[in-house]
A and B are shown apart, each in its own frame.
Chain A
Amino acid sequence: MEKIPILRMGEFLLVTIQIDMHDQLALKLQDDLSSTICRNASKGVLIDISSLEMVDSFIGRMVADISGMGRILGAETVLVGMQPAVAITLVELGLSLPGVATALNVERGMALLRQKIDAGGANVDQH
């Protein structure tokens, strides 16, 4: 069975999508990620889509769902590496991915994740 690998890097998870996913594979990734977040008490998820040449409404919804689901499970999600042509197409399609944090590349995505987690931690401390 095909599978998209989820790499664990300390309190973060890194997912690099490198193949043209069929719908079931996208759904399986969503399942795998939620269980991996729970198992490792991960604080952040970085999804790298720099190899994806197309994001349609199904994949867009999967990414938005992962982001929402992660937040409930205590993990922030950042989507990185979207190709310009993909971004233009997504917006014209009507999918601007509200609620999904994005960054230009993995490095900036990591920085954004750190920032989000630190900010979240500060909030918790206040209570």
Chain B
Amino acid sequence: MSTSIKSGESPVRSEHDIVLARQQVRRLAQELQFSLVDQTKMVTAASELARNALIYGRGGTMHWTVLDSADGRRGLRLKFADEGPGIPNMELAMTDGWTSGNGLGMGLTGTKRLVNEFEIDSAVGAGTRVTITRWK
């Protein structure tokens, strides 16, 4: 079990919000004293998911939580939630190289490789929620 130390949220409604989300995640990762590589991975993952929420989910919210694990480790959890059309075929969406838009198909699978924990919950008409966690 992990406990929340602090949390907050920022909107993902415009391209500028993607930049702000990146900066917010950078600040949190620095506060947690993540290594530079880990900071960069988390910021990049956030950028990918924020863009997904904006482009495919027609905008949404990034919820962030600083966590304390039972074994005393600190972590950062980000949840991107949108009320978009949802993902009809999850297996396909999680295939490397696949994209429904004009992306490179690196979005979801690539992002998963950048974090320690990755969870996705989506249904047609019910939006998409992607939660990622990186531990220090």
A interface vs B, CB < 8 Å? 20-24, 53-58, 60-61, 83-86, 88-90, 92-95
B106 neighbours in A (Cβ, 8 Å): 57, 93-95
Q: Determine the distance from Cα of A86 to Cα of B44 in the docked complex, in whole angstroms.
A: 9
Interface of B is mostly: helix
Given A20-B19, A94-B104, 11 other A-B residues pairs in contact with their CB atoms under 8 A? A22-B19, A24-B15, A53-B26, A53-B40, A53-B43, A56-B44, A56-B51, A57-B48, A60-B104, A92-B41, A92-B113
Q: How far is the CB of B45 from chain A (nearest CB, A)?
A: 8
A24 neighbours in B (Cβ, 8 Å): 15
In the complex, the answer to whether B110 meets A95 with C-beta atoms within 8 Å is yes
B22 neighbours in A (Cβ, 8 Å): 20, 54
In the complex, the answer to whether B44 meets A93 with C-beta atoms within 8 Å is yes
A-B contact pairs, 9 of them (CB 8 A): A22-B16, A24-B15, A57-B110, A92-B41, A93-B111, A94-B104, A94-B110, A94-B113, A95-B106
B interface vs A, CB < 8 Å? 15-16, 18-19, 22-23, 26, 36-37, 39-41, 43-44, 47-48, 51, 96-97, 103-104, 106-107, 109-111, 113-114
Q: Determine the distance from Cα of A61 to Cα of B103 in the docked complex, in whole angstroms.
A: 8
Q: Determine the distance from Cα of A89 to Cα of B114 in the docked complex, in whole angstroms.
A: 7
Question: B37, B39, B109: which contacts A94 (Cβ < 8 A)?
Answer: B109
Q: Determine the distance from Cα of A15 to Cα of B67 in the docked complex, in whole angstroms.
A: 40
Q: Determine the distance from Cα of A57 to Cα of B45 in the docked complex, in whole angstroms.
A: 10
B16 neighbours in A (Cβ, 8 Å): 22
Q: Determine the distance from Cα of A21 to Cα of B97 in the docked complex, in whole angstroms.
A: 24
Name the residue of chain A whose CB is nearest to the CB of B47.
A56
B41 neighbours in A (Cβ, 8 Å): 88-89, 92
